[in-house]
């Protein structure tokens, strides 16, 4: 075999290796973005699941309080209004805003409940408030996990050299779940 043929075959082999390396890197980068994106979607789904558990508890809690404090109609209407808004919110920012309003309405409900000692002594009320506290704790954990997954995704999205291809691959930064007001950052107190 001629020396020039060996050199040409060597150059072609090197080029082929380089192409496979680039294709492999591109594939791994794309797949890592897909996996991280699915992780963000999955963790947001967990946040929504916890909000749904919360939404399911609220009508029962309102009904129990209604039995003792029927004249507090405005409080009950606010809870229904903000619960509906929270259930229809989809993005982290919309959910955050709606949940802020709902949390304020729940605080009003608990303020009403404090005026009725017989309500606070009710086993059903106690059970519902304990369940609500458990959901609030689970919700806080789900939001924390969601934000951690978003952080990992956004970090990967902005890291070199993947950042050069991320937008071309159709991947955009994800939004953190952020609480916008000091009242929203506080968990509604369920103490009697």
Rounded Cα–Cα distance for residues 64 and 4 (Å): 90
Residue 160: helix, strand or coil by DSSP?
coil
What does the pLDDT look like over 133-150, one tens digit per residue?
Answer: 898 899 889 999 999 999
- Preceding amide of 161 cis, omega within 30: yes
Q: How is the chain split into domains, by residue range? A: 40-185
C-alpha pair distances (Å), 66 with each of 21, 81, 113, 186: 67, 16, 10, 25
What does the pLDDT look like over 59-100, one tens digit per residue?
Answer: 888 888 877 776 677 777 888 888 888 888 888 888 888 888
Rounded Cα–Cα distance for residues 141 and 53 (Å): 14
Tokens 């897909």 found at: 34
Q: Is the pLDDT of residue 109 over 70?
A: yes
Lowest mean pLDDT among 24-33, 87-96, 104-113, 183-192: 183-192
How many Cβ atoms are within 10 Å of 1's Cβ, its own excluded? 6
80's torsion region: left (phi>0), alpha (psi -120 to 50) or beta?
Answer: alpha
179 φ/ψ angles, rounded to the nearest 5 degrees: -90, 130
Rounded Cα–Cα distance for residues 91 and 97 (Å): 10
């Amino acid at each position: 075999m001629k020396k020039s043929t060996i050199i040409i075959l060597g150059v072609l082999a090197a080029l082929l290796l380089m192409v496979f390396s680039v294709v492999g890197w591109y594939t791994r980068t794309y797949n890592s973005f897909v996996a991280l994106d699915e992780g963000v979607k999955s963790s947001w789904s967990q946040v929504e699941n916890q909000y749904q558990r919360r939404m399911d508890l609220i009508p029962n809690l309102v009904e129990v309080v209604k039995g003792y404090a029927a004249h507090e109609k405005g409080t009950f209407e606010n809870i229904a209004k903000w619960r509906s808004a929270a259930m229809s919110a989809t993005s982290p920012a919309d959910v955050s805003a709606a949940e802020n309003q709902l949390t304020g309405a729940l605080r009003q409900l608990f303020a009403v409940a404090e005026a009725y000692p017989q309500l606070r002594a009710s086993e059903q009320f106690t059970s519902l408030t304990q369940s609500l506290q458990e959901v609030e704790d689970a919700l806080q954990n789900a939001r924390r996990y969601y934000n951690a997954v978003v952080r990992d995704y956004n970090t990967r999205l902005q890291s070199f050299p993947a950042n050069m291809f991320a937008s071309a691959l159709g991947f955009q930064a994800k939004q953190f779940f952020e609480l916008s007001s000091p009242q929203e950052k506080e968990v509604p107190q369920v103490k009697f």
